[in-house]
Structure formats: structure tokens, C-alpha cells
């Protein structure tokens, strides 16, 4: 059909994953695409160029992006990258748009149709497209491995002629996808595992993995929509903190996994809690890239505290298992892009009314179209206009004309209020915002 897919090598130095696998290349070719993979794009995922070629891809260079109808990436393209893309190209990636509205606007200006894979709604049909789940699974696994590597004792109980080595005590905070995998991995390694979550329903899942679930009596349940947690009230936060403070002092390893999309990560572990832990204890903060769940955690560093506790804050934890993470991520992209292909004609055919498209589309036809970001697309232009007009034009008639400009510049609070207003996108597009109201790494 003459339509092509381009897969670039990620420019972020912490990113070792690649957006396709030999298996998905073969499938894309079967759909009629010409697939071009940038030279050495899969090197850090142990996929050499020859494997891509054997599957039917061509090995190219960065400039080939300008001819592609589809660009598949791990991370949001930079403004410099997106300028090289063909106008009208589909761009699929984990966009991380909150706090990066300028880059979203740059994608709109470049005329690309951008999809944020992390906005995929959690419905049965989209399970195989859920990048958050596939990558969080590996992050939870890797968190335990990283903790074990820094811990200077054995995790399982060992009975020897010379004496008994006690099992390590592992405490997992947050029983979402990452947390549950961390629990399962720690249990396999022989640790005694406890876990907490603000959602009562998580208790059964924790117990099914052989761990003990702890939850304060004051917090009946904080379940939100889509299986995520809602934000806690001040009273609930206080009660939960008291429970954690008492429990955490007895632990050898603590793993935190709480993230709230669009907001800083909630603070779960205070400096006082860290100080209460025994020397040699380990904390792994999987939310460190969003400000961290742990006071004192630093992105990209392993911090040693004065009382001998290590706080691990590695960046891009799924990327630390790049070979496995790439295979899963590539499958996520394939299953989503496949829904936008006319199988008979073998051409791209994006259905703008599809609930998956509505939920994930950020930009299209030169505009920011996702309701959570449409009002923040041009804050620098709208805000001065509203302020300049107010002092000069006193008559009441002028105020309504200037009102939209003021709203456009009002930031995140205004975005939430107006998100549901566009008639064409409100019902389906609101769903990802709701389902991402809290959750796991």
C-alpha cells in the first residue's frame, strides 16, 4: 500500500527500549506496511539490526522519519524531532503530557496526529494495548531485584548448621500492577511480605499472593473509577500515615508505587519514618520521577541517609529490563495501531468515533484536541490578551468577548472544568481522565 512505519532510536540516554520487536515488524509487514527501523534502535534491548531485517524491516537513519506515515516511539518526541515528521503522520508514544503542554502544542503545530498510549482506557477490549500495565509489571519486578542488590543480607530464611538466617521483611505501599508484581517477586525470593493500599478491594489480591494486607480502620475505602484510587481527605491521610509510621520501622525493605497522573506523587514516607528504620534498610521509590513518594529520594540516585538507610531512586525502571519491556511495549503498540488499519484495502483508516481513539488522541489537524489539554495549548497568547483588555475596556459589553481568552489561560483547574464541554469528544474522552485519577507506577 506504500504506507510506512518509522521506528527511531530513542534519544533519551536513560531509554534502552525500542518500540517494535521482530514479531511486530513481521505483523506490520503482513498488514501492508513498509517498516523502517533506525540503525541500532534495538541495540540496548538485545535486538540487533539483522533480526529486524530478517522480519522484513529496512534499516534506516533518523531523516527517514520525514517520509513515514506512522512513527512509533517510547517517549514523547521533542519539538526538534517532531519538526522532522511528515504533516499528518500518526505518532504513538507514552507522551507524558502533564506539565509538558508546550511539547503537546509543538506536536499540534507540526500537524501530526499524536496518541498518548498511557491514556488507553482500562476496558476489556484494550487490555492488550495497556502500556501502563505492561511496563508497571516489570517495574515492580525490577524494584525488588534492585532492593535485593543493595540489601547486604539474604531475603529468604535459611536454616544452616551454623544457625538460622531470618527472612527479610518487605513492605509494599500500593497494590496496583507494580505493587502486586513486587509482592509476587519478593514472595518468590522468600521474603515475609506485607502491603497496604487505600482501596479495600486490593486486600484480596494481596492475600492471594501470600502477603499480609494492612489498612487503617479509619479508611474504609478510597477506590476511584477504573480500579484506581481517589485522592484521600486530610483525615484519611493522617490515619494512613500513623499506620505506616508504626509498621515501617520494623521493615527491612520498603517499595513505594503510588502515582497520580497530572499531579505530583503523593508523599507516603516522611523523613521521620526513614529515620525510624534500621541501618541497612532499603527503600525503593518507583515514583521518584514525579517528585517521589519518599522524602529525601533523589531522581537517578541511590541516597544513603545518616542512619544508614538507602533510598533507591532509579529513573525509567522498566527500561532497566529493556529486553523484556520492549517486547511487551511493541505488542501494545501493534494491537492499537492494528485497529486503525482497513484490513481489506490495507490502508490507514482512523475512526474518529472509536472510543480508543477519542481517549488517546492528543493532537490532530494542527490542533490540540484532547479535552484535558485543549485549554492549555496557547497559554502565553491568551493570558496577556485578557489582562491588557480589562483596564482599558470598562463597558460590560466587552467582558463576554474577552472571557474565553481568560479561560484559556487559567491552567489545570480550568482544564478539568471545561474538559467535558466539547460535544464531539466529551463522553469518551472524559473516561481516561477519570480512570487515571490515581494508581500505580
Residues that are catalytic: 122, 127, 130, 133, 228
Contacts of 53 by beta carbon, 8 Å cutoff, 6+ apart: 59
Q: How many CA atoms lie within 13 A of 173 on its CB side?
A: 28
Q: In 317-385, where do the E strands start and end? A: 341-342, 347-348, 361-364, 367-368
Task: Report d(CA 73, CA 414) in Å as an integer.
Answer: 30
* Residue 358 dihedral angles phi and psi, to the nearest 5°: -60, -40
Q: 236: alpha, beta or left, given left = phi > 0 and alpha = psi -120 to 50? A: alpha
Q: Are 156 and 111 in contact (CB under 8 A)?
A: no
Closest to 356 in 3D by CA, of 423, 421, 413, 435:
435
In DSSP notation, 269-329 reads B-HHHHHHSPTT-EEEETTGGGT-SBTT--TTEEEE-TTS-EEEE-S-SGGGGHHHHHHHH
Amino acid at each position: 500500500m506504500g504506507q510506512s512505519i518509522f521506528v527511531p532510536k530513542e534519544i533519551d540516554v536513560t531509554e534502552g527500549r525500542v518500540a517494535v520487536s521482530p514479531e511486530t515488524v513481521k505483523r506490520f509487514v503482513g498488514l501492508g506496511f513498509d517498516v523502517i527501523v533506525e540503525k541500532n534502535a534495538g541495540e540496548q534491548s538485545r535486538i540487533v539490526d539483522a533480526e529486524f531485517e530478517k522480519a522484513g524491516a529496512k534499516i534506516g537513519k533518523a531523516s527517514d522519519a520525514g517520509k513515514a506515515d506512522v512513527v512509533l516511539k517510547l517517549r514523547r518526541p521533542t519539538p526538534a524531532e517532531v519538526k522532522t515528521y511528515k504533516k499528518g503522520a500518526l505518532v504513538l508514544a507514552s507522551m507524558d503530557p502533564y506539565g509538558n503542554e508546550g511539547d503537546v502544542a509543538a506536536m499540534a503545530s507540526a500537524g501530526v496526529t499524536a496518541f498518548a498510549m498511557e491514556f488507553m482506557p482500562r476496558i476489556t477490549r484494550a487490555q492488550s494495548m495497556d502500556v501502563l500495565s505492561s511496563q508497571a509489571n516489570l517495574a515492580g519486578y525490577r524494584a525488588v531485584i534492585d532492593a535485593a542488590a543493595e540489601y547486604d543480607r539474604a531475603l529468604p530464611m535459611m536454616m544452616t548448621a551454623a544457625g538460622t538466617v531470618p527472612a527479610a521483611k518487605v513492605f509494599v505501599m500500593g497494590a496496583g500492577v507494580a505493587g502486586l508484581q513486587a509482592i509476587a517477586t519478593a514472595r518468590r525470593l522468600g521474603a515475609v511480605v506485607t502491603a497496604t493500599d487505600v482501596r479495600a478491594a486490593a486486600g484480596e489480591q494481596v492475600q492471594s499472593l501470600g502477603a499480609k494486607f494492612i489498612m487503617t480502620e479509619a479508611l474504609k475505602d478510597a477506590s476511584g473509577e477504573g480500579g484506581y484510587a481517589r485522592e484521600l481527605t486530610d483525615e484519611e491521610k493522617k490515619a494512613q500515615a500513623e499506620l505506616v509510621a508504626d509498621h515501617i520501622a520494623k521493615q527491612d525493605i520498603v517499595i513505594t508505587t503510588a502515582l497520580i497522573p497530572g499531579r505530583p506523587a503523593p508523599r507516603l514516607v516522611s523523613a521521620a519514618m526513614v529515620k525510624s528504620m534500621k541501618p541497612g534498610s532499603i527503600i525503593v521509590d518507583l515514583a521518584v520521577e514525579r517528585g517521589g513518594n519518599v522524602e529525601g529520594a533523589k531522581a537517578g540516585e541511590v541516597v544513603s541517609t545518616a542512619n544508614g538507610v538507602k533510598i533507591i531512586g532509579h529513573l525509567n525502571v522498566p527500561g532497566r529490563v529493556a529486553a523484556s519491556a520492549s517486547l511487551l511495549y511493541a505488542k501494545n503498540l501493534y494491537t492499537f495501531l492494528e485497529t486503525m488499519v482497513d484490513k481489506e484495502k490495507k490502508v490507514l483508516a482512523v475512526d474518529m468515533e472509536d472510543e480508543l481513539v477519542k481517549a488517546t488522541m492528543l493532537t490532530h489537524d494542527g490542533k490540540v484536541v484532547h479535552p484535558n489539554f485543549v485549554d492549555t495549548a496557547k497559554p502565553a497568547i491568551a493570558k496577556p490578551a485578557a489582562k491588557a483588555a480589562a483596564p482599558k475596556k470598562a463597558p460590560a459589553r466587552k467582558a463576554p468577548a474577552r472571557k474565553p481568552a481568560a479561560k484559556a489561560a487559567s491552567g489545570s483547574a480550568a482544564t478539568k472544568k471545561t474538559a467535558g464541554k466539547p460535544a464531539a469528544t466529551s463522553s469518551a474522552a472524559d473516561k481516561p481522565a477519570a480512570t487515571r485519577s490515581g494508581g500505580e507506577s
